[in-house]
Structure 1
Amino acid sequence: MNKFEQLGLNAEIVNAVSDMGFEAPSDVQEKAIPILLQEETDLVALAQTGTGKTAAFGFPLLQKINADSKHTQGLILSPTRELCLQITNEIQNYAKYIKGLKTVAIYGGSSISDQARAIKKGAQVIVATPGRMKDMVSRGMIDISKIDYCILDEADEMLNMGFYEDITDILSHTPKDKKTWLFSATMPKEVSTIAKKFMNNPVEITVGTKNEGTKNVSHEYYVVAGRDRYNGLKRLADSNPDIFSVIFCRTKRDTQKVAERLIEDGYNAAAIHGDLSQNQRDLVMKSFRSRQIQMLVATDVAARGIDVDDITHVINYQLPDEIETYTHRSGRTGRAGKSGVSMVIVTKSEMRKIKSIERIIKQSFERKDIPSGEEICQVQLFHLAKSIKNTEINHEIDSYLPQIEELFKDFSKEEVIKKVFSVEFTRFFNYYKNASKLNSPAANHNDYREGEDSGESTRYFINVGSKDDFDWMSLKDFLKENLDLGRDGVSRVDVKDSFSFFNTDTTEKDKVLAFFENFEHDGRRISVEETKDKGGNRDRKKRGGGGGFRKGGGGKRSGGSGFNKSSDSGSRGEGFSRRSGESSGKRKSNIKSSVSRRRNKK
Structure 2
Amino acid sequence: MNKFEALGLKQTLLDAVADLGFENPSEVQEKAIPILLEGETDLVALAQTGTGKTAAFGFPLIQKLQAESRTTQGLILSPTRELCLQITNELKLYSKYEKGVNVVAIYGGASITEQAKQIKRGAQIVVATPGRMKDMIGRRLVDISKIDFCILDEADEMLNMGFFEDIKDILSNTPDEKSTWLFSATMPKEVSVIAKRFMHNPQEITVGAKNSGTDTVQHEYYVVGGRDRYPALKRLADANPDIFSVVFCRTKRDTQRVAEKLIEDGYNAGALHGDLSQNQRDLVMGSFRKKQIQMLVATDVAARGIDVDDITHVINYQLPDEIETYTHRSGRTGRAGKSGISMVIVTRSEMRKIHAIEKKIKRDFISKKIPTGIEICETQLYHLANKIKDTEINKDVENYLPAINEVLEGIDRDELIKKIVSVEFTRFSNYYNKSKDLNSSGPDRERGGDRDDRGGNSRGASSDGSIRYFINIGEKDGYDWMTLKDFLKDKLSLGRDDVFKVDTKDAFSFFNTEAEHTDAILAFFSDYKEDGRFINVEVSKSPEGGRGGGNRGRRRERSGSGGGSGRSGRSSGGGARRGDRNFSKSGASNSGRRRSSGGSSSSGNSSKKKSGFY
Place the TM-score, normalised by the shorter chain, in its bin. Answer: 0.7 to 0.9
How far 1:108 sits from its partner (Å)? 1.0
How far 1:46 sits from its partner (Å)? 0.3
- Corresponding position of 1:307: 307
Matched residue type, 1:249: C
Residues of 2 paired with 1:366 and 1:446: CA distance? 13
Question: What 5-or-longer segments of structure 1 have no aligned partner?
Answer: 449-602
- Corresponding position of 2:53: 53
- Corresponding position of 2:199: 199
Match runs of 1:521-540 below 5 Å: none
Residue 278 of structure 2 is aligned to residue 278 of structure 1: yes
Residues of 2 paired with 1:95 and 1:311: CA distance? 28
Residues of 1 paired with 2:278 and 2:124: CA distance? 25
- Corresponding position of 1:127: 127
Residues of 2 paired with 1:11 and 1:66: CA distance? 16
- Corresponding position of 1:159: 159
Matched residue type, 1:199: M
Match runs of 1:6-405 below 5 Å: 6-405=6-405
Matched residue type, 2:18: S
Residues of 2 paired with 1:302 and 1:439: CA distance? 30
Provide, for residues 40-83 of structure 1, a one-character-per-residue CA deviation record: whole Å limited to 9, x for no partner: 10000000000000000001001001111111000000111111
Residues of 2 paired with 1:91 and 1:328: CA distance? 23
Q: Is residue 235–residue 376 contact of structure 2 (8 Å, CA) maintained in 1?
A: yes
Residues of 2 paired with 1:67 and 1:18: CA distance? 22
Residues of 2 paired with 1:423 and 1:102: CA distance? 58
Matched residue type, 2:267: Y
Match runs of 1:498-517 below 5 Å: none
Percent identity over paired residues: 73
Matched residue type, 2:146: K
Matched residue type, 2:12: E
Matched residue type, 2:129: T
- Corresponding position of 1:504: none
Q: Is residue 88–residue 105 contact of structure 1 (8 Å, CA) maintained in 2?
A: yes
Q: Is residue 45–residue 204 contact of structure 1 (8 Å, CA) maintained in 2?
A: yes
Residues of 1 paired with 2:276 and 2:62: CA distance? 33
Match runs of 1:385-534 below 5 Å: 385-447=385-447
Residues of 2 paired with 1:12 and 1:295: CA distance? 40
Matched residue type, 1:303: A
Q: Secondary structure of 2:85's match?
A: helix
Q: Is residue 314–residue 333 contact of structure 1 (8 Å, CA) maintained in 2?
A: yes
Residues of 2 paired with 1:61 and 1:195: CA distance? 19
How far 1:405 sits from its partner (Å)? 1.6
Matched residue type, 1:218: Q
Residues of 2 paired with 1:279 and 1:8: CA distance? 42
Matched residue type, 1:402: P
Provide, for residues 437-494 of structure 1, a one-character-per-residue CA deviation record: whole Å limited to 9, x for no partner: 110014232349xxxxxxxxxxxxxxxxxxxxxxxxxxxxxxxxxxxxxxxxxxxxxx
- Corresponding position of 1:499: none
How far 1:303 sits from its partner (Å)? 1.4
Q: Secondary structure of 1:61's match?
A: helix
Provide, for residues 133-166 of structure 1, a one-character-per-residue CA deviation record: whole Å limited to 9, x for no partner: 1111111111000000000001111111111100
Q: Is residue 355–residue 445 contact of structure 1 (8 Å, CA) maintained in 2?
A: no
Q: Is residue 355–residue 446 contact of structure 1 (8 Å, CA) maintained in 2?
A: no
How far 1:395 sits from its partner (Å)? 3.5
Matched residue type, 1:22: F
Residues of 2 paired with 1:31 and 1:336: CA distance? 17
Matched residue type, 1:351: M
Q: Secondary structure of 1:351's match?
A: helix
Q: Secondary structure of 1:446's match?
A: coil
How far 1:254 sits from its partner (Å)? 1.1
Q: Is residue 370–residue 438 contact of structure 1 (8 Å, CA) maintained in 2?
A: yes
Matched residue type, 1:359: K
Provide, for residues 309-356 of structure 1, a one-character-per-residue CA deviation record: whole Å limited to 9, x for no partner: 111100000111111111111111111111110000001111100011
Change (3 A) 1:12 1:442: farther
Q: Is residue 80–residue 305 contact of structure 1 (8 Å, CA) maintained in 2?
A: yes
Q: Is residue 216–residue 334 contact of structure 2 (8 Å, CA) maintained in 1?
A: yes
Q: Is residue 316–residue 342 contact of structure 2 (8 Å, CA) maintained in 1?
A: yes
Q: Is residue 246–residue 297 contact of structure 2 (8 Å, CA) maintained in 1?
A: yes
How far 1:399 sits from its partner (Å)? 3.3
Residues of 2 paired with 1:149 and 1:186: CA distance? 22
Residues of 1 paired with 2:428 and 2:14: CA distance? 52
How far 1:118 sits from its partner (Å)? 1.1
Change (3 A) 1:436 1:403: same
- Corresponding position of 1:466: none
Residues of 1 paired with 2:98 and 2:357: CA distance? 44
How far 1:416 sits from its partner (Å)? 1.0
Q: Is residue 71–residue 123 contact of structure 2 (8 Å, CA) maintained in 1?
A: yes
Provide, for residues 566-596 of structure 1, a one-character-per-residue CA deviation record: whole Å limited to 9, x for no partner: xxxxxxxxxxxxxxxxxxxxxxxxxxxxxxx
Matched residue type, 2:432: Y
Q: Is residue 223–residue 444 contact of structure 2 (8 Å, CA) maintained in 1?
A: no
Q: Secondary structure of 1:427's match?
A: helix
Alignment length, in residue pairs? 448
Q: Secondary structure of 1:162's match?
A: coil
Q: Is residue 107–residue 133 contact of structure 1 (8 Å, CA) maintained in 2?
A: yes
Residues of 2 paired with 1:153 and 1:409: CA distance? 66
Residues of 2 paired with 1:177 and 1:296: CA distance? 43
How far 1:228 sits from its partner (Å)? 0.6
Residues of 1 paired with 2:6 and 2:136: CA distance? 40
- Corresponding position of 1:586: none
Residues of 1 paired with 2:261 and 2:442: CA distance? 28
Q: Is residue 154–residue 184 contact of structure 1 (8 Å, CA) maintained in 2?
A: yes
Q: Secondary structure of 1:55's match?
A: helix
Residues of 1 paired with 2:274 and 2:69: CA distance? 37
Matched residue type, 2:154: E
- Corresponding position of 2:512: none
User: Which structure has the bigger radius of gyration?
Assistant: 1
Q: Secondary structure of 1:414's match?
A: helix
How far 1:304 sits from its partner (Å)? 1.8
How far 1:392 sits from its partner (Å)? 2.9
Question: What 5-or-longer segments of structure 2 have no aligned partner?
Answer: 449-614
Q: Secondary structure of 2:67's match?
A: coil
How far 1:214 sits from its partner (Å)? 0.7
Residues of 2 paired with 1:94 and 1:253: CA distance? 40
Q: Which moved more, 1:278-287 or 1:68-77?
A: 278-287
Q: Is residue 109–residue 277 contact of structure 1 (8 Å, CA) maintained in 2?
A: no
Q: Which moved more, 1:239-248 or 1:410-419?
A: 410-419
